[in-house]
Amino acid sequence: MSETTAASGVPQRATALAFDMGASSGRAYVGELSAEADGVRTLKVAEMHRFENEAVRVGKHLHWDILRLLQEIKRGIRKTFQAGYSPRTLGIDTWGVDFGLIDEGGELLGNPYHYRDPQTERLIEELSERFGADALFASSGLQFMPFNTLYQLYAMSKAGSAKLDAAKTLLLTPDLLTYLLTGVPACEFTMATTTQLFDPRTRRWNAELMRELGIPETMFLEPVAPGTRIGALSDEVLDELRIPPVAAVAVGSHDTASAIAAVPAGDEPFAYLVCGTWSLLGTELAEPVLKPETLSLSFSNEGGVGGTYQLLKNIMGLWILQECKREWDESEAPIGYPELVELAEAAEPLRSLIDPDDARFYGPSDMTSKIRAYCRETGQPEPRDQGEFARCVLESLALRYRQALEQAESLTGRKFAGLHMVGGGIQNRLLCRLSAGAIGRPVFAGPAEASAIGNLLLQFVAQGEIADLAEARRLVSRSFPVDTYEPGDSGAWESAYSRFLALQPSPGSNASPASET
């Protein structure tokens, strides 16, 4: 579609505003489609606002400060207009699983629980024993993780939560924030699939399971597809910010779904790694893979954009290194990530390895002590300094990526030529290079801000500027650089991979941070 034209006759670029919210920070990005030149357009993205997202502990529980996040979103909107942009639409993507409850009068019933809240401890085991792990998996296609919405709601039901009795509507985090801006409740498809209460076979809510567990089934709205217009910003928000009308779009509201939408792949099947605090490695499919092997290998089937499903595995990710850095920053002179990577570069290769998904690494605090203990228990030398700790974590992640990639190939019968890495973690060039070495194939790294870009792409679909996912990915390929990392010599990596596999729990044990937390 060609660009709109202002009264002055000057072409106006199609513009959208994306809020990309992670577990530790949030960002606002404005995106503009360039003027058409010979039928070719590119996407330009600029950061408008950045803010912290910190959990708040109240008594025994951990919560999100949802109203402060709402206020930061409003600041991002105001800054965007003050900078001279006029976005037609905005969209919000966040982490999955968490939610707020809305009462009969439309009011929010308290601050939402944080996914690391301890209320769900041991509930995976309880429900797996009660219903059978195979049956529970078949009804959702989701990897058993302690923070899944299912376990959060069941914990509230067991505790006799008055919030459940008073709730009329459950809104997952991006839908909740959109509701607070527009007054329009909605449930976006990709977020719905993170709950473990959505059946991928029927593409409907699992009402029978909800009734069994005392979870009110009437709280759940019918999911809408990514790229659906939800409603306009409310009059109150427009008056407060003194801006013209803006429409809200349900994008790929789960940040993983938006990130995968921005993978600059061609028409051939591809494997991706969304790299950040968590790492998510998988491939895009037309239908979920619900066979027993999917469960035994701890893979998930999560909704994607364009009616797709994402067969993926959650891997602990850079959380481990982030916690090490936080520990060093509190007890020693603060160190930046570039300096830490330099130290890791200089450290001895493949000296010590860990299983990043060992349950001990799931929680915060004392991460270096946990790594030392793991190495002692497995008969390996302990890391001695920051460089060795960082090298240990990064090489272990790279080897875990290889294992997950090979497992994805086993589940799908596909062979992938390389691995597309997107997300903030690709700014760690050492991790990209190590990953190429470990998998023995090229790594294609970029773009870094994939979730925000995917968010913008879905808004342009809603605006009628982009036809579909294939066109969106071609736009990404034209607009953002991709760095290629070649694998190099594989000898040392093959030996290290054998050592790494020896550290793994036996197949079928389903040992993971989820199952042991």
Amino acid at the residue 59: G
Within 10 Å of residue 369's Cβ, how many Cβ atoms? 11
Burial class for 266, CB neighbours closer than 10 Å (0-12, 13-18, 19+):
exposed
Answer whether 300's CB lies under 8 Å from 142's CB. yes
Question: Checking phi first, is residue 353 left (phi over 0); if not, alpha (psi -120 to 50) or beta?
Answer: beta
The strand pairing partners of 283, in sequence order, are 271, 311
Between helix 337-346 and helix 319-331 the angle, nearest 10°, is: 100
Catalytic residue among 98, 199, 255, 355: 255
Residues 6+ apart with CB under 8 A from 247: 88, 89, 90, 229, 230, 231, 232, 233, 462
Q: In the annotation, is 255 catalytic?
A: yes
Burial class for 330, CB neighbours closer than 10 Å (0-12, 13-18, 19+):
exposed
Question: Checking phi first, is residue 84 left (phi over 0); if not, alpha (psi -120 to 50) or beta?
Answer: left
CA geometry: angle 231, 115, 123, nearest 5 deg: 120
Number of helices (H), then strands (E), belonging to the chain: the values are 20, 21
Strand pairing class (167-172; 300-303): unpaired
The strand pairing partners of 33, in sequence order, are 43
Burial class for 417, CB neighbours closer than 10 Å (0-12, 13-18, 19+):
exposed
The strand pairing partners of 274, in sequence order, are 280, 422
Best CA proximity match to 420, nearest among 350, 476, 459: 476
Answer whether 107's CB lies under 8 Å from 186's CB. no
What DSSP character marks residue 40?
A: B
Q: Which tokens is 68 given?
A: 């402060």
Residues 6+ apart with CB under 8 A from 443: 418, 419, 421, 432, 433, 435, 436, 484, 485
Answer whether 283's CB lies under 8 Å from 259's CB. no
317 vs 303: CA distance, rounded Å: 21
145 vs 77: CA distance, rounded Å: 34
Q: How many residues are present in the chain?
A: 517
SS (H, E, C) 282-307: EEEECCCCCCHHHHHCCCEEEECHHH
Catalytic positions, written as ranges: 255
